[in-house]
Amino acid sequence: MKRDVTLFFLVLLCCFMALFSCHSQKQDADGDVDMDSSSASSFVEIDIGANLKDSGEKMLLSDLVEDVEYIKLEATEASIMGIIYSLVLHNDHFFVQTLGTDAFSVLIKVFDRTGKFVRNVGRFGQGPGEYRLGRGICANDSLLFINTNWSHKVMIYNWRTNRFLKAVPLNGRTVENILCFDNNNIALLPGANFVPKTNVEIDFFNAVIVSEDGVEKMVSLKDVSRIDTTCFEGYQNPSIYRVPYQYGNEYHYYDDVNDTIYKILPDTIIPCYFLNKGVYKMPLCDFFVDEKYFDEGRNYIQEISFIETDSFLYMDFSYNLKKWIVRYGKSDKTVVCWAQEGRVLGKTTHFVWGGGFYNDVDGGPSPLWGTLDGGKYICAYISQDNLDAWSVDKLKSKTVKFPEKQQQLIKMLEEYGEDDNPIIVLYKLKQ
């Protein structure tokens, strides 16, 4: 089952994952945000630009994790998989996107909380009820939503019965991520890839909440009058992200255009945090010029991800060819930064691979960014493709806070076979 995985998909895997929620903002003629009193009272500015200095303080995984568990996914003829492309944990089920035989054949498999295989959902293809190039998934108690950029639709299945229900047209929108709610509303998050300049406000700047029938419920309209859109000509492929995460059983997402974190509820979108990057914010149009994006991108904060708890908001990003973790204290408003050396992906890129929290929980590598199951967990995967990072010798060389868990992990690794499915590592967050 071992598969060759391109660097491109490893970057996507790190950056992709999981989910979030927020209220609309009204704008005045000058382009300033005019929020209602409930939104304004909780809207917080975090000044990263003024505090981007390496404190030298090693950030320990045990500072935000209170427990860890290991779930080995059952390997049957129907459930065997390659690399995990993305993962959703909703209540007691895992929904796993895994790459098939090529970059376009993304398969979706369901396992229960113990790792027992339940079923495959849907079917790969281009016919009725089939999907190709799944760009993201979301699940509630009975439905699975699949964002298919190939067909510009959200496919909806009853995952308990594997019955295809309907396809919701995206009406020309290109959607990077989707979120779903118990009332079956869907939040569509724009991102990389969008259509020509005439549709830029619709397709690029705004998150949208629609019903399961595709009826628009809410748009997070932003004023773009003070944004230089002269570079938005024709079909573009900017690397601008709407990064989702979960906290407090609610969806959140970060918009790289205006550096705002939003909370998305079933019927409304609320701004929560503004990240002031100062001089470390890349000018928007530089995203569209390869020479600037790749050659000068290292001078700016890039590829940002989040983990939020009751006490802290953690941020992870690349800057100056290093990996940075920033910890924002909600009570004392302090900003603490830790910079680490990483592996630069390619000769002309600013992507930095590696870094993360120092894993003093079980001794493994730092887990992935992005939260699962309403913000209760962060996770890691163990598969044939990354066994070197989880070598038993490396684990034994580390002193950890959970030695009994480390011994359990070592035993599982020693028994891990060539044809086994991945092991999911769930780190439970302190709240």
**Exposure string for 51-84, b = 16+ CB within 10 A, e = fewer:** bbeeeeeebebbbbbeebebbbbbbeeebbbbbb
Main-chain phi, psi angles of 312, to 5 degrees: -140, 155
Confidence class for position 3, pLDDT limits 50, 70, 90: very low
Nearest to 133 by CA among 147, 121, 114, 143: 147
Give me the pLDDT at residue 208, please: 83
Give the model confidence (pLDDT) of 307-356 as tens digits: 999 999 999 999 998 999 999 999 999 999 999 988 876 655 667 878 89
In the predicted model, is pLDDT for residue 18 greater than 50? no
Maximum mean pLDDT: which of 27-31, 69-73, 212-216: 69-73
In the predicted model, is pLDDT for residue 140 greater than 90? yes
Quick one: what percent of the chain has pLDDT higher than 70? Answer: 76
Q: How far apart are alpha carbons 326 and 129 in whole angstroms?
A: 43
In the predicted model, is pLDDT for residue 203 greater than 70? no
Give me the pLDDT at residue 24, please: 33
Q: Looking at this protein, which amino acid is placed at residue 283?
A: P
Main-chain phi, psi angles of 189, to 5 degrees: -105, 120
Task: Tell me the mean pLDDT in the region 159-166.
Answer: 95
Residue 195 and residue 235 in contact, taking contact as beta carbons nearer than 8 Å: yes
Show the tokens assigned to 149: 């950029």
Q: How far apart are alpha carbons 95 and 87 in whole angstroms?
A: 6
Main-chain phi, psi angles of 394, to 5 degrees: -65, -40
In the predicted model, is pLDDT for residue 29 greater than 90? no
More confident residue, 18 or 72: 72
SS3 54: strand
In the predicted model, is pLDDT for residue 26 greater than 50? no
Confidence class for position 153, pLDDT limits 50, 70, 90: confident
More confident residue, 77 or 36: 77
In the predicted model, is pLDDT for residue 2 greater than 90? no
More confident residue, 210 or 52: 52
Give the model confidence (pLDDT) of 266-278 as tens digits: 989 899 999 999 9
Task: Tell me the mean pLDDT in the region 384-406.
Answer: 94
More confident residue, 310 or 20: 310
In the predicted model, is pLDDT for residue 390 greater than 90? yes
Tell me if the domain spanning 7-429 has CATH number 2.130.10: yes
First to last CA, the chain: 38
Sign of CA dihedral 361, 363, 366, 368: negative
Q: How far apart are alpha carbons 342 and 323 in whole angstroms?
A: 6
In the predicted model, is pLDDT for residue 25 greater than 80? no
Strands 186-190 and 208-210 come out as antiparallel
Average pLDDT, the chain: 81
Show the tokens assigned to 18: 């999981």
Q: How many helices (DSSP H) and strands (DSSP E) are in the chain?
A: 6, 30
Give me the pLDDT at residue 288, please: 61
Give me the pLDDT at residue 232, please: 57
Show the tokens assigned to 12: 């996507």
Task: Tell me the mean pLDDT in the region 49-74.
Answer: 97
Show the tokens assigned to 393: 């010798």
Confidence class for position 98, pLDDT limits 50, 70, 90: confident
Quick one: what percent of the chain has pLDDT higher than 90? Answer: 51
Show the tokens assigned to 206: 């705004």
Q: How far apart are alpha carbons 25 and 21 in whole angstroms?
A: 14
Non-local CB neighbours of 226 within 8 Å, separated by 6+ positions: 31
Q: How far apart are alpha carbons 336 and 56 in whole angstroms?
A: 9
Question: H helices within 87-184, ranges in order?
Answer: none
Q: How far apart are alpha carbons 190 and 359 in whole angstroms?
A: 33
Main-chain phi, psi angles of 175, to 5 degrees: -115, 130
Task: Tell me the mean pLDDT in the region 125-145.
Answer: 85
Q: Looking at this protein, which amino acid is placed at residue 41?
A: S
Maximum mean pLDDT: which of 26-30, 87-91, 198-202: 87-91
Q: What is the DSSP letter of 234?
A: S
Q: Which of 53-62, 99-108, 171-180, 366-375 has the lowest mean pLDDT?
A: 99-108
Give me the pLDDT at residue 104, please: 56
Give me the pLDDT at residue 7, please: 39
Give the model confidence (pLDDT) of 62-95 as tens digits: 999 999 999 999 999 999 988 888 899 998 999 9
Give me the pLDDT at residue 20, please: 33
Q: How far apart are alpha carbons 55 and 52 in whole angstroms?
A: 9
* pTM: predicted TM-score of the whole model, two decimal places: 0.84
Q: How far is CA 241 from CA 122, 165, 205, 254, in A?
A: 28, 30, 11, 8
Give me the pLDDT at residue 22, please: 35
Give me the pLDDT at residue 175, please: 80
Q: How far apart are alpha carbons 339 and 344 in whole angstroms?
A: 14
Give me the pLDDT at residue 11, please: 38
